[in-house]
Amino acid sequence: MAKRLAVFVEGMTEQLFIQKLLIEMAGRHNITIDLVQARGSASARMVILKGHSASNTRYYALVCDCGADNTVASDIRDHYDRLSKQGYDLVLGLRDVHPEPDAKIPAIRSAIAKIMPTGAIPVHLVLAIREIEAWFIVEDGHYPAVHPALTAALIKARMGLDTATVAAESIAAPAETLHAAYQLQGRAYHKSRRHVQRTVDALDYARLDIELSTRVAALGELCGHVNRFFT
C-alpha cells in the first residue's frame, strides 16, 4: 500500500504548487496525486475528501483546496479522524497571512494551535508570511521561462528589487509584485489557472528545496516535512 499524505491548502495557487512540488520531489512515476476541493457546509465538505483508496505508486497524496485561508485549519480538524481511518501517514496544511499585518501573526498562530488535532498521524500547518508568490519571486531563475528577456538583472534595474537578497517575508504584496515584474516584458500574473500553472511549471524545485529553503523559513519548513515523508 502506498504511503499516504494529505495536504490542505487555501486555494488553487497553493494546490497547483504543491502538486508540482510533490511530483518533482518524489519523481513522476513514484506518486499518485488527487486534487480535490472543499466547499460549502461541513457535511458537503466531508463527501469531497474521499479521494482514491488505492494506488500502484509508492506514494499517494490528496491535495485539498479549502477555498480560503481561514478554513485550512478547521478542515484539517474536521477530517482528521476520517484520514486516520483511511490510513494516512501525514497531514500538512499551507496557508498565508496576506493581507493581515505582521502584528497579527502571533494571534493567527495561536488560533491555529488551539484547533490542531492530536493523534497517531502527525499534523503540521505551515504559515507562509505574506503569500507564496514571494517564493516565486526569489526563485529568480524561472523568469526567462516566462519571457526570454525577463531576468533578475532587469527586475533589479527597473524595479529596484534585488531578488537575490530580498527577504521573501518583507515583500508586502507578492502577487502584485510578481505581476509587475512580468509586465516588464509584457507578461502578466493573475491568479488564474493558466497564469499560475505557467509559473509553477517554470520554477526550479531542486533550487527551492536545496537552496531557497535555507533562506525562506516557511518554505524550508514545508520542504522539510515533505522530504521526511519521502524518506
Q: Tens of pLDDT along 179-214?
A: 999 999 999 999 999 999 999 999 999 999 999 999
So what's the pLDDT on residue 99? 85
Measure the CA–CA gap between 4 and 83, rounded to whole angstroms.
9
- Write down the pTM of the prediction: 0.93
Find all residues with CB under 8 Å of 190, minimum gap 6, and list them: 179
CATH classification code of 3-131+205-230:
3.40.50
What pLDDT sits at residue 47? 45
- Given this model, what pLDDT does residue 1 score? 82
Instruction: Spell out, as residue ranges, where the chain has pLDDT lower than 70.
Output: 42-55
Domain spans of the chain, in order of start: 3-131+205-230, 135-197
| Helix 72-85 × helix 105-115 angle, to 10° | 30
- Cβ atoms of 59 and 26 within 8 Å: the answer is yes
| DSSP conformation letters of the chain | --EEEEEEESSHHHHHHHHHHHHHHH-GGGEEEEEEE--SSHHHHHHHT---S--SSSEEEEEEE-SSGGGHHHHHHHHHHHHHHTT-SEEEEEEE-TTS-GGGHHHHHHHHHHH---SSS-EEEEEESS-THHHHHH-GGGHHHH-TT--HHHHHHHH---TTT--GGG-SSHHHHHHHHHHTTT----SSHHHHHHHHHHS-HHHHHHTGGGTSHHHHHHHHHHHHHH-
